[in-house]
Amino acid sequence: MLLAGKVALITGGTKGIGAATAIELARRGADVAINGRHDDEDARQVQSRIEALGRRVVVVVGDMGAAADATRSVEETIRCLGAIDVLVHSAGGAVVGGLMDLAPETWHRAFDVHVHALFHLCRAAIPSMRQRGEGAIIMISSVAGIRGVHFNLAYQVVKGALPQFARALAREVANDNIRVNCICPGIIRTRFHDQMTPEQKKHNLEHRIPLRREGTPEQVATLIAEVAANDYITGETFTIDGGLTMRIA
């Protein structure tokens, strides 16, 4: 799939990996809808950078934890930019706490944002992809969904659901030439990373990441763009983590 002239919707597209992905897709010629919960300074900065690349951009405000907002984000993108060719679900965030610490509402909210939103986004976007004869859906998971980490039960469970969601949906829509893949970032320099203590960051570099450096949102965005463009990849899960998940020692 050549990305030039395509339309992409990026949820969580005003910050971090989502923002970097929106800019990278625009750099490759796509028109982009960026979703965030607020039309704030972050959103305007991303919008300005995309406009500077000469691409169309629209900010779609909505909470991906609300089914109606997820569906409306797709509908608004189609109304403003045209049928969606690339859907990237990057919205989400940390969910701290173990089994006995989590309130049921927090547990359910994690599923609403990370998993249930995808159900509604895909149901709304796939019909237009079918009409166009192709499409790419990319789900942003985490290495936390592959390996157990301490004290983040809900986050690990919802992120662990996404690779299987991608595989199952990839089977279902393959005959429509719609590809579905999953990306699992490791420790990436975002606001999520900023919550770590200096001691945690030092431990990660010295003992967990073989390449001994954190990743950047731009590095993840490059992988997302390549997976979106390559029309012979579907049902796959890619890690981008500096070797964290392969480390034995």
Q: Quick one: pLDDT band at residue 246, thresholds 50, 70, 90?
A: confident
Sheet (strand 237-240) strand order: 57-61, 31-36, 7-11, 86-89, 135-140, 178-185, 237-240
- End-to-end CA, the chain: 40
What pLDDT is attached to residue 9?
99
| DSSP code for 160 | H
Supply the pLDDT for residue 11: 99
Is pLDDT larger for residue 150 or for residue 232?
232
- Among residues 118, 31, 124, 129, the alpha carbon closest in space to that of 83 is found at 129
Domain count for the chain, please give it: 1
Domain of 232, CATH number, reads 3.40.50.720
Active site residue 232: no
pLDDT(106) > 60: yes
Predicted confidence (pLDDT) per residue in 183-239, tens digit = 999 999 887 767 778 888 888 888 888 999 999 999 999 999 999 999 999 999 999
pLDDT at 190: 86
Q: What is the largest CA-CA distance in the chain?
A: 52
Share of the chain above pLDDT 70, in %: 98
pLDDT (tens digit per residue) in 168-180: 999 999 999 999 9
Per the CB < 8 A criterion, the answer to whether 170 and 213 are in contact is no
Domain that holds residue 30: 7-246
Whether residue 1 is contained in a domain is answered as no
Tell me the per-residue pLDDT of 71-91, one tens digit each, with 9 for 90 and over.
999 999 999 999 999 999 999
Lowest mean pLDDT among 20-29, 77-86, 145-154, 155-164: 145-154
71 contacts 120 by C-beta, under 8 angstroms:
yes
Which residues fall within 8 angstroms of residue 25, CB to CB, at 6 or more apart?
Answer: 3, 6, 8, 10, 32, 86, 221, 225, 228
How many residues make up the chain in this entry? 249
Catalytic residue among 69, 155, 159, 181: 155
